[in-house]
Amino acid sequence: MMLPLLQLQQLADSAFPIGGAAHSLGIEALVEAGLLNTEILAAFLQDYLRETGTLEAAYCRASAGGPDIHQWLSWNLELGARKLARESRDASAAMGRRFLRLAANMSADELLIAASDLGAEVHLAACFGFVAGSLGIDAPTAAAAYLQQSMTALVSACQRLLPLGQTQAHQILWDLKPAILCAVERSATDPSLVSSFTPLLDVACARHATLYTRLFMS
Amino acid sequence: MTAPSSLHLSFETVEAGSTILRVKQQQPPWRVVRGFRAPSGETLAHVHNLSGGILDRDSLDVRIDLGAGAQAQVTSTGATRIYRSRSPEGIASQRTRVNIAAGGYLEYLPDQLIPYAGSRFEQTARVELESGASLIWWDRIAPGREASGESFQFHSLASQFEIVACGQPIAIERWTVTPFLEPVDSVARLGPFRHFASCYVCRAGDPPAYWKTFEAQLQIIADRLSSSEILWGVTSLRAHGLVIRGVAINGRALASGLVEFWKAAKWSLCGRVATLPRKVH
């Protein structure tokens, strides 16, 4: 069991080259509008995990359970339709494609290669679960690792947008662990039944492309 | 579990291309008197809930069908008020199903939804568009009876909304607001805003480039209307449409903003001038 865990650590590392550092998923627009600051960042991330985190964890978790390829592709379409904001949907699709391609090439797993070669619309959360499942990682562990790497990427984005030092950033990440586990627990259901209420974040994602200057892709 | 009260409207084209409304079923509290000719050519139906609002344990069912080429506008006669629920089992619900055939065009423009203190409500809507079918669909949610000092005093408000175009899902929303359990004023949810609205603009079959261009045009309106009290954003869906979303401190600003977007979207989609539906009271 040690080898799959080591492989999972590598896949969930923020240095894994899928372009995660290029996206702020609406956070840059929230900061620019004066709605998000360092004082409320930890609470914001906890609620983000409750809403978006639970939703993505559900698709990650379902994908790790060894679905047939048609079911998995249908979940990807569904997740794409649930990501209303083009910015977060395109980011998720671009990172998903890269993640799947890299994992397929490194592992030489036939199923992953076949899935990657389809060229279909895929999303990062579903790809992460699918790859983790192929390595023999259980679904809750895959979902927890996915959320851990998502939060690491978001906190890293916040370090570039807010007066947030390394020590404080890592304290926030450390303190988020119970919320990650909570989201994983809530995600143990049919992904299509998971609720997510993020109207302000959706508006922020949609407005990001219109900012005068941007650090992150839109 | 009581059987749902059903309303079934069917819009069909007749000779000379005009659209007629057939009320195939209407059970209390639903009431639709007849179709009216809207100034822009659609057939307008006012959906009236005779009980004045949605009551504890109401189960309502709405079906709207548009035949090939039918042009319709559907609105309400006033705000949808969700009354107080008397027990955790007392959840009111409404299910809406819409089918639009090729060349059909539907504007669904209800007044705002107001969940009263202590209410519990679940709404489900599914819209299916055939190739060439068009849709403008808005909804607007208030935090409660603000004039009475109510804001997010309801128990639960849940919504499930899905648009399927050419057989594929293009937009799915599924959310639940439980103000007593999860803080609504979190920046991950509504932040300092209290009202929220969406307006979907779709035509099945138009290429992604059309929607990206249209998104940029509507974003100019969004920028003009946005301020510290209201924020608008426009974004393309994964195919066949876009969505305009707004969050606001004041409900009136959100309502007038929706009308501006609707006018621009209608002109672009079908080259017709939007006129607010006449209300009958």
Q: Is A120 helix (H, G, I), strand (E, B) or coil?
A: coil
Counting one residue from chain A and one from chain B, the pairs whose CB atoms sit within 8 A come to: 113
pLDDT at residue B281, rounded to an integer: 45
In-domain check, residue A113: yes
Kindly indicate the confidence band of residue B189, based on its pLDDT and cuts at 50, 70 and 90.
Answer: very high
Strands B43-49 and B30-31: antiparallel
DSSP annotation of A51: I
Q: Are A200 and A35 in contact (CB under 8 A)?
A: yes
Distance from CA of B27 to the nearest CA of A (A): 30
In-domain check, residue A130: yes
Q: Is there a contact between B237 and A207 if contact means CB atoms under 8 Å apart?
A: no
Q: Is B13 helix (H, G, I), strand (E, B) or coil?
A: strand
The shortest CB-CB distance from B233 to any of A35, A80, A202 is to A202
Distance from CA of B174 to the nearest CA of A (A): 5
Residue B275 in contact with partner chain A when CB distance is under 8 A: no
Nearest CA to B10 out of B76, B96, B75, B70 is that of: B70
Q: How far apart are CA B34 and CA B45, in angstroms?
A: 7
pLDDT at residue B1, rounded to an integer: 54
The CATH number for A78's domain is 1.10.4190.10
pLDDT at residue B16, rounded to an integer: 79
In-domain check, residue A6: no
Q: Which residues of B touch A198 (CB under 8 A)?
A: 188-189
* Structural domains counted in chain A: 1
Q: Is there a contact between A197 and B183 if contact means CB atoms under 8 Å apart?
A: no
ipTM: 0.94
Q: Classify each residue of B59-85 as buried b or exposed e, where b means 16 or more C-beta atoms within 10 Å of its C-beta.
A: bbbbbbbbbebbbbbbbbbbbbbbbbb
A177 lies in which domain range? 23-208
Q: Which residues of B touch A43 (CB under 8 A)?
A: 186
At which residue do the structure tokens 């998502």 appear? A150
Residue A32 in contact with partner chain B when CB distance is under 8 A: no
Q: What is the pTM of this model?
A: 0.96
Q: How far apart are CA B31 and CA B60, in angstroms?
A: 12
Residue B280 has pLDDT above 60, yes or no: no
Residue A22 has pLDDT above 90, yes or no: no
The shortest CB-CB distance from B234 to any of A197, A204, A206 is to A206
Mean pLDDT, residues B99-107: 97
The per-residue pLDDT of chain A, averaged, comes to 95
Q: How far apart are CA B157 and CA B199, in angstroms?
A: 19
The rounded Cα A206 to chain-centroid distance in angstroms is 18
The rounded Cα B280 to chain-centroid distance in angstroms is 19
Q: Are A40 and A162 in contact (CB under 8 A)?
A: no
Interface test with B, best of A200, A201, A211, A212 (most B CBs within 10 A): A200
DSSP annotation of B24: E
Q: Are B174 and A195 in contact (CB under 8 A)?
A: yes
Residue of chain A whose alpha carbon sits nearest to that of B193:
A200
% chain A with pLDDT above 70:
100
pLDDT digits (tens, 9 = 90+) for A120-147: 999 999 999 999 999 999 999 999 999 9
Q: What is the dihedral of CA A63, A65, A70, A71, to 10 degrees?
A: -80
pLDDT digits (tens, 9 = 90+) for A169-208: 999 999 999 999 999 999 999 999 999 999 999 999 999 8
Residue type, B114: I
Distance from CA of B206 to the nearest CA of A (A): 17
